[in-house]
Amino acid sequence: MTTDSGRREVLLVVHPDREATRGAARDVAVRLAAAGVLLRVIGEEVRELVEISGDGAPCIVVAPEDDPAAGTELVLVLGGDGTLLRAAELARPAGVPVLGINLGRVGFLTEADSDALADTVQRVVDRRYRIEERMTVDVTVTISGQVVAHTWALNEASVEKSTRERILDALIEVDGRPVSSFGCDGVLCATPTGSTAYAFSAGGPVIWPDVEALLVVPSNAHAMFSRPLVVSRASVITVQVDPDGSPAVLTCDGLRHIELAPGARVQVVAGRVPVRLARLWEDPFTDRLVHKFSLPVKSWRERHARSGP
């Protein structure tokens, strides 16, 4: 996408650790400027982080607060999955794809590691990437039948106890029918993208991104039946906080938090608006899973035979 003047623009979102991202951010700015691509940043602090003085310094502008990604062709992320989730919050309303360069640890959502920064930026300049749409969830909170909040998530919507010493008493419904109720630390409603995030840590299965499904994972449930559930994309998941129990909190992607009073109902459905991710390579998801989690792909005997006596 280009602006009305034909100028290309890329929005840069960086990890808040200034020292960790300074070198990479400036490298991106210089490379994009050399290709005639305008760099858009969020806030004066990020502008100061990226800005370079002298002849040939890149052109950097501060994004408008109301819709920072509007009019750009790409949101480029320097950081880990948390930074990419923040970027997705900005990119989704504008329908702009997100491309992550991992400066963190696992970086499951990011597309490239920091040592491939130069090649990644060149691919952006050349528009050598494809767009992959990722399923989201829309989340509605009601109390006594009245809607009190509406939000969304790319990874997961998590209903959790609000204090450590309390237990969340929750009732799970699928398509308007009760499934189970129990005391727990929380209940996660995740997308296939989120199956490798919080839901994975809570004991849920890995779901390939192209599978059209929703995942429900109880966290530390005090119950005989507390297995993860994989339900249809068309299903409606409801988590109700016990009216006679303790309050809870709804957290979406670790970014958006909503306090839940006893009796609150959290409804989760497949999202109407996806998040668009930019992909540089055609590697299958299986390879990404093995690489990111450093999974052993050799048999026990073969690994030990290589090590020798």
Residues 155 and 119 in one domain: no
- Phi, psi for residue 145 in degrees, rounded to 5: 85, -5
Q: Is residue 251 part of a domain?
A: yes
Contacts of 45 (CB under 8 A, 6+ apart): 18
Integer angstrom CA distances of residue 305 from 290, 296, 301, 302: 22, 15, 6, 5
- In the chain, the number of structural domains is 2
Q: How confident is the model over 209-257, as pLDDT tens digits? A: 999 999 999 999 988 778 999 999 999 999 999 999 999 999 999 999 9
Distance, in Å, from the CA atom of 196 to the CA atom of 267, rounded to the nearest integer, reads 22
Residues 15 and 40 in one domain: yes
pLDDT recorded at residue 170: 96
Residues 119 and 158 in one domain: no
Select which of 17, 81, 115, 126 is catalytic.
81
Active site residue 81: yes
Residues 100 and 191 in one domain: no
Residues 263 and 157 in one domain: yes
CATH number at residue 28: 3.40.50.10330
Residues 90 and 172 in one domain: no
Q: State the burial class of residue 276 (Cβ atoms within 10 Å of its Cβ: 0-12, 13-18, 19+).
A: buried
Residues 97 and 213 in one domain: no
What letter represents residue 171's amino acid?
L
Contacts of 13 (CB under 8 A, 6+ apart): 42, 75, 76, 77, 78, 79, 83, 86, 87, 90
Q: What is the pTM of this model?
A: 0.90
Domain that holds residue 50: 8-134
Q: Is residue 124 part of a domain?
A: yes
Could you tell me where the DSSP H helices lie in 230-308?
Answer: 285-293, 300-307
Q: Is residue 295 part of a domain?
A: no
Residues 163 and 251 in one domain: yes
Given a cut of 50, the residues of the chain with pLDDT beneath it are: none
Residues 99 and 168 in one domain: no
Angle at 118 between CA 27 and CA 22, to 5 degrees: 25
pLDDT recorded at residue 91: 97
Over the Cα atoms of the chain, what is R_g? 22
Residues 146 and 263 in one domain: yes
Q: Is residue 287 part of a domain?
A: no
Do 131 and 97 touch, CB atoms closer than 8 A? yes
Integer angstrom CA distances of residue 161 from 103, 146, 250: 32, 22, 9
Last residue of a domain, one of 103, 119, 134: 134
For residue 99, give the DSSP letter: E
Residues 14 and 85 in one domain: yes
Q: Is residue 309 part of a domain?
A: no
Q: Is residue 286 part of a domain?
A: no
Residues 150 and 257 in one domain: yes
Integer angstrom CA distances of residue 48 from 60, 72, 135, 153: 10, 21, 35, 31
